[in-house]
Structure 1
Amino acid sequence: MQPRSPEPTRRPGPPPIAGPRRFAGPPTSFIVITVAVVQIVGTLFSASHQDAPRPLDGLAILLLLAGPAGLALRKRAPQVMLPVALVATGAYLALGYAWGPIVLSFALAIVLTAAAGLRWQAWAGAAIAAAAVVAGSAMTGDENWPVRASAGVAWAAILVLLGQGFRRRSERFAEYRRRREEAQKAERDEYRLTLARDIHDVVAHSLSMINVQASVALHVGADDPEKLRPALEAIKAASKESLTEVRQLLGVLREDVPLAPAARPTLARVPELVRNAQVGGLRVMLEDNADHPGAGPAQQEAAYRIIQEALTNVGRHSGAKSAVVRIAQTDRELEVTIDDDGAGMGGALPGNGLTGMRERAVALGGSLTLHNLEPGLRVQANLPIHPEGTRP
């Protein structure tokens, strides 16, 4: 019987690193140009219907453009926006030019300053604007000046609160994005860990079989040449299948997975593992009287890989002559036990194989434990069986 290595399990590719980018608002250049056009055109139109103490001149146009120019610094130097807009607006009104939408750049500067996190500067600018409105309304002598002053103060506060609302929204989105990236990173790490376990299980098992068969060939080659050919044929078959599986795993890494994925190994293939181990001279007994109707594909694959790795370790490291594989199932769990009569762990630290076995069990909500025997070692895995459609 020629050894046959298990086919690798196909895994979905890792999740994308970055999701769709959020809309960060209109470009700064669009804001600057739009505000400048509105202030210039709106003021020229308003001036044609007013008797202003001072006609519009070059200085007025310069002040109308200074506020929008300050908004251009909203990302590089946001602390400069509000002072520039405040000085430009105050100078324009103080010089007696025609009233118009000159306050638009100042209002946007308050909003953008609060949105940039400069809360106290925004409140200070709003307070100055509110004081100017109250003073200007009182000096007009109008009987309704308290109403106008109150409206101006309310609008100044609303502008700051509006900017703070934009700021909080941006912070919440940044927190959501950070959590999403952390979740994606955890998924990618789990994907790499799963792929590493598959590579170890497939390659280590195949190379172990090649090593065992080569040892058999060297042992029987001199005494019984007729037994040499089957051993060499087994080496050739195992190496060929190993190369095929390595190419398939590399295809997964390149995201070049074939359209027809390989089937996941099940407990029905455990006798094949036992026969492969027996070819290498290890006496293996399999005790499995259940049909495993409740064990899902994930539980069966994990049990298969654990048995595969345990038998590989027995053949390579323990020096055992015999092993017993027991598979038992209850309504709640699938129990797998591998006993051998070898040297046990011998104080050695667990390698990648034992770590991978434990990770497979824990991923399903189960456990994997090692028990020293006299002599030998017991590897015991308990895999919970969950109702269909549920996860651990």
Structure 2
Amino acid sequence: MQPRSLGPQRIPGARRFAGPPTSFLVMTVAVIQVVGTLFSASHQDAPRPLDGLAILLLLAGPAGLAFRRRAPQVMLPVALTATGAYLALGYAWGPIVLSLALGIVLTAAAGLRWQAWTGAGIAAAAVITAATLTGDENWPLRASAGVAWAAILVLIGQGFRRRSERIAEFRRRSEEARKAERDEYRLTLARDIHDVVAHSLSMINVQASVALHVGADDPNKLRPALEAIKAASKESLTEVRQLLGVLREDVPLAPAARPSLARLPELIQNAELGGLKVTLQDLSNAESVGPAQQEAAYRIIQEALTNVGRHSGARSAVVRVIQTAGALTVAIDDDGAGMGGALPGNGLTGMRERAAALGGTLTLHELKPGLRVEATLPTEPEGNLP
């Protein structure tokens, strides 16, 4: 699989709405309450004219809203006290209840549900009491409207709270998804670098040993070994440059050929240059196998042959590629020393991860002599090939 470039991604709608700035909210409510009440008082015969205390009470409610971030539990008591004192002293009616209404909404939005319902209940009780004391025949209607509005304000605040929680949960899940994608990208890149570098350097090392061994006795055998080293180093450089081009998007590089089943003969030939006799039995139809499965099969065979050449001391190996209904099976048998109790390394881990990424499995079977590496990769219907 060729690595994808992962740049910064913006998630639509992920920005959490925090409402207007607190200073703007406080100043706006203060202006509305003071100016609106002054205008309203000029058209009323209030028992008590507006004075300094009235202006102070009109400003106290908005001032309490300034604590919406630092101490939201302060907002509602301040607004409730200021509003109640203003109305109890008999000042002219006006938009004094604006700060109280916002105090209820913002308290519920801050998660202080019981405090919001308590404040709304006190306000509703005050409305009912005032309506009954006036002797108005429509006092039940006024009282019901006051109670309904108090409950609505709390519910609005709780709606804002739930929306904020949903956005926070969406952001958390989006960040987890981006982290998982980055981790998978790094893992894929690490596997590709390991497969390319380990395979090429292993073959270069083998050929260099051959060149040193035969060069002194038979100079004619030196040339094939050097040509194999040159071919392996060229292929390795090409693939490493491609991987580096993924990391540096500003480097224009022509993409290298993607590993596939069609390139298996070339892979076998390179392995034989290291002195290993390899037999290929390919019973697959590459046209009906997805590119992801083909690349995984190629990389697994490549890593298995690299391990055979480096660790097992085998003289021969057999590579089988068998396609059945719904699965592609690759098996690599060698006549070497097997695992010999050694712990799995990065190469075997990478092979297992490649198989697991496609929903497949990779198993090891001890032979006498040798070892079998077998991977089963589920294939998809042709219409769903990646």
TM bucket, shorter chain? over 0.9
Which of 354, 364, 367 is equivalent to 1:370?
364
Which of 292, 295, 304 is equivalent to 1:301?
295
Which of 312, 315, 325 is equivalent to 2:309?
315
Is the contact between residue 258 and residue 295 of structure 2 (CA under 8 Å) also seen in structure 1? yes
| Equivalence map 1:165-244=2 (5 Å) | 165-244=159-238
- Tell me the equivalent position of 2:3: 11
Q: SS of the residue aligned with 2:286?
A: coil
Is the contact between residue 15 and residue 184 of structure 1 (CA under 8 Å) also seen in structure 2? no
Cα distance between partner residues in 2 of 1:75 and 1:329: 64
Q: Tell me the percent identity.
A: 82
Task: Indicate yes or no: 2:62 matched with 1:68.
Answer: yes
Is the contact between residue 291 and residue 385 of structure 2 (CA under 8 Å) also seen in structure 1? no
Is the contact between residue 3 and residue 243 of structure 2 (CA under 8 Å) also seen in structure 1? no
Q: Which amino acid in structure 2 is aligned with residue 252 of structure 1? A: V
Structure 1 pair 257–382 and aligned structure 2 pair: CA distance change class (3 A): farther
Task: Indicate yes or no: 2:140 matched with 1:138.
Answer: no
Is the contact between residue 208 and residue 229 of structure 2 (CA under 8 Å) also seen in structure 1? yes
- The farther-off stretch of 318-327 and 161-170 is 161-170
- The farther-off stretch of 326-335 and 96-105 is 326-335
C-alpha displacement of 1:32:
1.5
Q: SS of the residue aligned with 2:317?
A: strand
C-alpha displacement of 1:23:
2.7
Q: What is the Cα-based RMSD across aligned positions, in Å?
A: 1.8
- The farther-off stretch of 336-345 and 27-36 is 27-36
TM-score normalised per structure 1 = 0.93
- Tell me the equivalent position of 1:254: 248
- Tell me the equivalent position of 1:161: 155
- The farther-off stretch of 182-191 and 123-132 is 182-191
Is the contact between residue 238 and residue 256 of structure 2 (CA under 8 Å) also seen in structure 1? no
Cα distance between partner residues in 1 of 2:264 and 2:298: 6
- Tell me the equivalent position of 2:347: 353
- Tell me the equivalent position of 2:25: 31
Q: SS of the residue aligned with 2:287?
A: coil
Cα distance between partner residues in 1 of 2:90 and 2:345: 84
Is the contact between residue 239 and residue 256 of structure 2 (CA under 8 Å) also seen in structure 1? no
- The farther-off stretch of 28-37 and 74-83 is 28-37
Task: Indicate yes or no: 2:47 matched with 1:53.
Answer: yes
C-alpha displacement of 1:38:
1.2
Is the contact between residue 39 and residue 101 of structure 1 (CA under 8 Å) also seen in structure 2? yes
Structure 1 pair 40–153 and aligned structure 2 pair: CA distance change class (3 A): same
Q: Which amino acid in structure 2 is aligned with residue 179 of structure 1? A: R
Cα distance between partner residues in 1 of 2:346 and 2:113: 54
- Tell me the equivalent position of 1:344: 338
Q: Which amino acid in structure 2 is aligned with residue 266 of structure 1? A: S
C-alpha displacement of 1:166:
1.3
Q: SS of the residue aligned with 1:293?
A: helix
Is the contact between residue 294 and residue 331 of structure 1 (CA under 8 Å) also seen in structure 2? no
Relative contact order higher in (CA < 8 Å, ≥ 6 apart) = 1
- Tell me the equivalent position of 1:5: none
- The farther-off stretch of 373-382 and 285-294 is 285-294
- Tell me the equivalent position of 1:92: 86
- The farther-off stretch of 326-335 and 43-52 is 326-335
- Tell me the equivalent position of 1:3: none
C-alpha displacement of 1:255:
3.8
Q: Which amino acid in structure 2 is aligned with residue 295 of structure 1? A: V
Q: Which amino acid in structure 2 is aligned with residue 62 of structure 1? A: L
Aligned residues: 384
Cα distance between partner residues in 1 of 2:27 and 2:79: 15
Cα distance between partner residues in 1 of 2:284 and 2:143: 87
Q: SS of the residue aligned with 1:349?
A: coil
Which of 113, 123, 127 is equivalent to 2:107?
113
Cα distance between partner residues in 2 of 1:330 and 1:276: 28
Q: Which amino acid in structure 2 is aligned with residue 292 of structure 1? A: A
C-alpha displacement of 1:264:
1.2
Q: Which amino acid in structure 1 is aligned with residue 371 of structure 2? A: L
Is the contact between residue 17 and residue 181 of structure 1 (CA under 8 Å) also seen in structure 2? no
TM-score normalised per structure 2 = 0.94
Which of 115, 122, 129 is equivalent to 2:116?
122
- Tell me the equivalent position of 2:75: 81
Could you list the runs of 5+ residues in structure 2 that have no partner in the other structure? none
Q: Which amino acid in structure 2 is aligned with residue 145 of structure 1? A: W
